């Protein structure tokens, strides 16, 4: 596909910028460029990006192209990483805004676990060392970026250069995945990502990056978290077939409200024209897709039994719920890990303010939504909540 004159970003030019930045040429084979084209077209026609939004998108795409060049170069020099075994990872595959970020940070207090840290997730090459990584320049870079995040966003979402982050950063290097719907109004890209694209290649590339990241740090089980995994669980299962799955459950109305507020905030960082009714419709479709695809996949019973956690119980006593997860997975929780987890919980009390559950500003009817998500709520015993 040739670059159109009305595109916000010239694909050939940004590819050349990545080559110049690295001195490398090979982006790798596969269907990644199609995804890049679809994203840029949708952003150009639908997202109403301001100058800052265009700059942010261009920076993200350039970073992903640089990652591809470096991943191809590293794996060519170290072909043995493809033999790395990723054994029985724990995947927090759960609806967004249901506690998975806090849970991931708590799990990371266990020395027996391995997390996908922000500084690694956004720039996986070179893989981290088994001893100290404190002088790695990627950490300092991400600290600067974290310090520049709006305070409102930090109050809504835990973020730190040296703490666990989402898997979507790795999947984005294949220019696939639907998470962009949070930061931009790109409905055609979302529909393409969910309904039309083949994600098998993207998940194979995701697994390759996990192999690369663990190649110089042997041992430890991965703790992975990413809500968009729920859209493509078959593809995830194909590359991590022995994974343990943990899912948190929260009143769908609270989930929708929290996601609407977060989406407005994220889109407002890139556009001066955020349509709250469109945000509401987008979030509802996203949550419907998450729920319907998850239930369909779980009913196949092709994975280990899933561990289900009630969000309200997790909020009330995080450590108790994490201990229960370990017990159900048959994993020993050491005294060292328990003490470190307990300390983190004590140092990070949850904001006691009740969330704003009024969905009218987003053009949504609470009663209709309760009916639409009744099957999910009944299956996991969820009731109206103030959490």
Average pLDDT over residues 158-178: 91
In tens, the pLDDT along 111-137 reads 999 999 999 999 999 999 887 788 899
Res 383: pLDDT: 78
Res 22: pLDDT: 98
In tens, the pLDDT along 346-387 reads 998 876 556 789 999 999 999 999 999 999 999 999 977 645
Res 300: pLDDT: 96
Measured from the Cβ of residue 146, the count of other Cβ atoms closer than 10 Å reads: 16
pLDDT at 1 over 60: no
pLDDT at 328 over 90: yes
C-alpha to C-alpha distance for 93 and 33, rounded to whole angstroms: 27
Q: Which two tokens stand for residue 257?
A: 């409200």
Task: Give the whole-number percent of the chain exceeding pLDDT 70.
Answer: 97
The region of weakest confidence among 23-37, 125-139, 212-226, 323-337 is 125-139
Q: Are 206 and 171 in contact (CB under 8 A)?
A: yes
Enumerate residues 6+ apart whose C-beta is below 8 A from 129: 216, 217
Average pLDDT over residues 293-322: 96
Res 352: pLDDT: 57
The region of weakest confidence among 55-64, 118-127, 133-142, 152-161 is 152-161
Average pLDDT over residues 48-76: 97
Q: How many CA atoms lie within 13 A of 145 on its CB side?
A: 16
Enumerate residues 6+ apart whose C-beta is below 8 A from 254: 97, 355, 357, 385, 386, 387
Enumerate residues 6+ apart whose C-beta is below 8 A from 341: 106, 109, 110, 319, 322
Per-residue confidence band for 3, with pLDDT thresholds at 50, 70 and 90: very low
In tens, the pLDDT along 235-264 reads 999 999 999 999 999 999 999 999 999 999
Question: Where along the chain do its domains lie?
Answer: 88-379
Task: Give the whole-number percent of the chain exceeding pLDDT 90.
Answer: 85
Res 244: pLDDT: 97
Residues in the chain: 387
Res 196: pLDDT: 84
Res 353: pLDDT: 59
The CATH fold assigned to 88-379 is Rossmann fold (3.40.50)
The pLDDT mean for the chain works out to 93
């Amino acid at each position: 596909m040739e670059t159109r004159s009305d595109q916000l970003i010239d694909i050939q030019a940004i590819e050349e910028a990545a080559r110049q930045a690295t001195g490398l040429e090979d982006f790798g084979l596969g269907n990644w460029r199609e995804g890049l084209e679809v994203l840029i077209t949708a952003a150009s026609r639908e997202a109403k990006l301001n100058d800052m939004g265009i700059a942010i998108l261009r920076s993200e795409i350039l970073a992903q192209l640089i990652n591809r060049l470096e991943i191809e170069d590293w794996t060519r020099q170290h072909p043995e990483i493809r033999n790395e075994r990723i054994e029985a990872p724990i995947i927090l595959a759960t609806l967004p805004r249901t506690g998975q970020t806090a849970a991931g940070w708590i799990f990371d207090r266990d020395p027996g676990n391995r997390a996908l840290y922000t500084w690694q997730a956004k720039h996986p090459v070179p893989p981290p060392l088994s001893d100290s990584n404190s002088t790695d320049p990627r950490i300092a870079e991400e600290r600067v970026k974290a310090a520049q995040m709006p305070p409102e966003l930090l109050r809504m979402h835990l973020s730190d250069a040296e703490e666990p982050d989402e898997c979507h950063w790795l999947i984005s290097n294949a220019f696939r995945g639907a998470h962009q719907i949070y930061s931009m109004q790109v409905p055609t890209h979302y529909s393409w990502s969910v309904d039309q694209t083949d994600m098998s290649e993207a998940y194979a590339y995701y697994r390759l990056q996990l192999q690369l990241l663990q190649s110089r740090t042997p041992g430890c089980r991965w703790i992975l978290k990413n809500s968009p995994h729920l859209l493509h669980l078959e593809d995830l299962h194909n590359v991590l077939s022995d994974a343990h799955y943990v899912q948190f459950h929260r009143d769908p109305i609270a989930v929708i409200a929290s996601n609407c507020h977060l989406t407005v905030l994220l889109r407002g960082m890139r556009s001066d024209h955020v349509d709250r009714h469109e945000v509401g419709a987008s979030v509802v479709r996203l949550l419907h897709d998450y729920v319907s695809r998850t239930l369909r996949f779980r009913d196949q019973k092709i994975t280990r039994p899933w561990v289900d956690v009630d969000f309200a119980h997790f909020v009330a006593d995080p450590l108790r719920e994490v201990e229960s997860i370990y017990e159900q997975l048959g994993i020993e929780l050491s005294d060292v890990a328990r003490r470190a987890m307990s300390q983190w919980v004590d140092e990070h009390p949850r904001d006691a303010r009740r969330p704003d559950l009024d969905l009218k500003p987003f053009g949504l009817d609470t009663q209709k939504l309760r009916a639409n998500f009744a099957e999910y709520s009944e299956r996991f015993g969820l009731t109206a909540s103030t959490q």
